[in-house]
């Protein structure tokens, strides 16, 4: 989810479904009118949002039992979790890059063309390859997103207090009430227009701390392709979150 976290601190436990044991977060939200269930991006866990006073274990268990079939069907449709390793392809700004391990090389991972094919060359010890690929995406995120924040902030007439990068499970970006913007560095695997949309979305929160009509109007002024990019992220975000960098 993109946006603001207005929920209370979650209670966490494990829920068994479809042969998996998934972390379950039960979050009480003062604005919730009913229980809602979502699968965290990449199938990394479950989240149940409940109205105030309805966080008792029995009620949540009954709710999950009623939706067991829906959960099992959705979990079966999730993409398999590809682990970052030599030979596989991961997208960089939407373009698939084959990972090439250079055991004798030094320095940072580098995206380049090799015989006309986009590759991501990762030097050093094979054991550190996933971390080095993640570090590459973090560096790219810092460069691109800081520039986009500056661009949209000028257009908006508001300034971010700080910009942070994380590997978040439940949201691609967020904005705090005091102007701190946070982004998932995994967004660098999305196409450039989607990256631009995410930044425009969070920068718009510097002026409109909600998801009302004025917010979406402002978001579309900053990023005219908001609807298309929002839909792309909804359809493809789970696949990006499923890539394993462990």
| Residue 80: how many other CB atoms lie within 10 Å | 8
DSSP structural state of residue 140: H
Domains and their CATH numbers in the chain: 11-77 (no CATH), 89-242 (3.30.2010.10)
- Look at strands 46-50 and 20-28 and give their pairing: parallel
Q: How far apart are CA 137 and CA 80, in angstroms?
A: 21
The average confidence (pLDDT) of the chain is: 89
Of 87-96, 163-172, 197-206, 209-218, the poorest mean pLDDT is in 163-172
Q: What is the pLDDT of residues 116-156, one digit of tens each?
A: 999 999 999 999 999 999 999 999 999 999 999 999 999 99
Give pTM, 2 decimals.
0.72
Classify 201 in phi/psi space as left (phi over 0), alpha (psi -120 to 50) or beta.
alpha
Q: Which of 96, 80, 84, 9 is nearest to 42 (CA)?
A: 80
Please identify which residue in the block is written with the tokens 């436990």.
Answer: 13
Q: What is the pLDDT of residues 156-169, one digit of tens each?
A: 999 999 999 999 87
**Confidence class of residue 177 from pLDDT cuts 50, 70 and 90?**
very high
Q: How far apart are CA 47 and CA 169, in angstroms?
A: 11
């Amino acid at each position: 989810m993109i946006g603001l976290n207005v929920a209370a601190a979650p209670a966490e436990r494990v829920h068994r479904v479809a042969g998996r044991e998934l972390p379950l977060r039960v979050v009480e939200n003062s604005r919730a009118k009913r229980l809602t269930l979502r699968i965290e991006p990449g199938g990394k866990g479950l989240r149940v949002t409940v109205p105030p006073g309805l966080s008792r274990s029995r009620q949540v268990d009954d709710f999950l039992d009623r939706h067991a079939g829906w959960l099992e069907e959705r979990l079966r449709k999730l993409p398999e979790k590809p682990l970052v390793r030599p030979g596989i392809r991961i997208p960089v700004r939407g373009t698939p890059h084959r990972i090439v391990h250079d055991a004798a090389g030094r320095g940072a991972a580098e995206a380049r063309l090799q015989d006309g094919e986009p590759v991501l060359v990762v030097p050093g010890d094979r054991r550190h390859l996933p971390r080095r690929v993640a570090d590459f995406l973090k560096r790219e995120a810092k460069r691109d997103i800081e520039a986009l924040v500056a661009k949209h902030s000028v257009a908006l007439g508001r300034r971010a207090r700080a910009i942070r990068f994380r590997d978040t499970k439940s949201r691609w970006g967020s904005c705090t009430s005091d102007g701190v913007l946070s982004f998932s560095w995994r967004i660098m695997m999305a196409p450039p227009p989607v990256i631009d949309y995410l930044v425009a979305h969070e920068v718009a929160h510097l002026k409109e701390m909600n998801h009302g009509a004025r917010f979406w109007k402002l978001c579309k002024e900053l990023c005219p392709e908001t609807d298309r990019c929002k839909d792309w992220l909804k359809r493809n975000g789970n696949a990006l979150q499923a890539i394993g960098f462990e």
